[in-house]
Copies of this chain bind each other. A is one copy, B any other.
Amino acid sequence: MSYERPRSSPASDVYPLLIIISGPSGVGKDATLARMKKAEPLFHYVVTATTRPKRPGEKDGVDYRFLSEDQFHQLAETKQLLEWAKVYGNYYGVPKEEIKEALNRGQDVIVKVDVQGASTIKQILPDAVFIFLIPPSTEELANRLKRRQSQPPAELNLRLNKAREEMESLSLFDYVVVNYTDKLDLAVSQINAIVTAEKCRVKPRAVRL
């Protein structure tokens, strides 16, 4: 599944990449990223800070950095977040220093972020590589959201409407990857191919943070 890439190091002509992976709520961003971490341990995966409650099975510092609202606001106020937003009543933010350090080490950096966050990062860092995960169909997305038993019906409808709206942000992105149920490896392999291709570009996208 994984394969060799051009060398990535600050000392070479091949720049490390900042890869933004986004998509509507319920598309399977978390599951795809979890699979990618196993297959591609050499990337640096940024851990998003959030005030939302832990879901069963999630680990602090691995899936998210689970913070109190006070802790979160302190990060935001001291400019330690690349972007942050309130989504469905919870705060989410992308730690900046972590990205900078990984890029300086020559590591490719993967950021998982909601569509609103991707849109903000696009304005700050247009040379990042923007990948949009989409479900095979809207019906499939609804099924996935329904399977998340933690969500009451009102929230489900809210999320479905939001997801339909978010699908319209596609044009912000460079690449689109369809996330088929039970075919996570296909999505991971396509994301890998995108990273390799970007490293082969004659005009590399160098992100300066």
In-complex Cβ contact of A1 among B3, B174, B178 (8 A): B3
- Nearest B residue to A172 by beta-carbon distance? B202
- In angstroms, Cα B200 to Cα A131, docked, is 9
Question: Do residues A201 and B186 form an inter-chain contact, with CB atoms below 8 A?
Answer: no
In-complex Cβ contact of A200 among B1, B4, B6, B194 (8 A): B194
Residues of B within 8 Å of A119, CB to CB, are none
A124 within 8 A of partner (CB): no
| Shortest Cβ gap from A136 to chain B (Å) | 12
Question: Do residues B193 and A197 form an inter-chain contact, with CB atoms below 8 A?
Answer: yes
- In angstroms, Cα B112 to Cα A193, docked, is 22
Copy count, this protein chain: 2
Question: Do residues B193 and A3 form an inter-chain contact, with CB atoms below 8 A?
Answer: yes
- Interface size band for A: 20 to 34
Question: Do residues A175 and B192 form an inter-chain contact, with CB atoms below 8 A?
Answer: no
Residues of B within 8 Å of A177, CB to CB, are 200
Contact with B along A163-207 (1 / 0, CB 8 A): 000000011011111100000001001101110111011100000
Question: Do residues B192 and A4 form an inter-chain contact, with CB atoms below 8 A?
Answer: no
Question: Do residues A4 and B197 form an inter-chain contact, with CB atoms below 8 A?
Answer: no
| Shortest Cβ gap from A36 to chain B (Å) | 14
- In angstroms, Cα B208 to Cα A117, docked, is 36
Residues of B within 8 Å of A186, CB to CB, are 4
Contact with B along A128-160 (1 / 0, CB 8 A): 000110000000000000000000000000000
Known A170-B202, A175-B202; further 8 A-B contacts with Cβ < 8 A: A6-B190, A131-B200, A174-B201, A176-B200, A176-B202, A189-B196, A197-B197, A197-B198
9 contacts between A and B (CB under 8 A): A1-B3, A4-B186, A4-B189, A5-B190, A132-B202, A175-B197, A193-B193, A193-B200, A196-B197
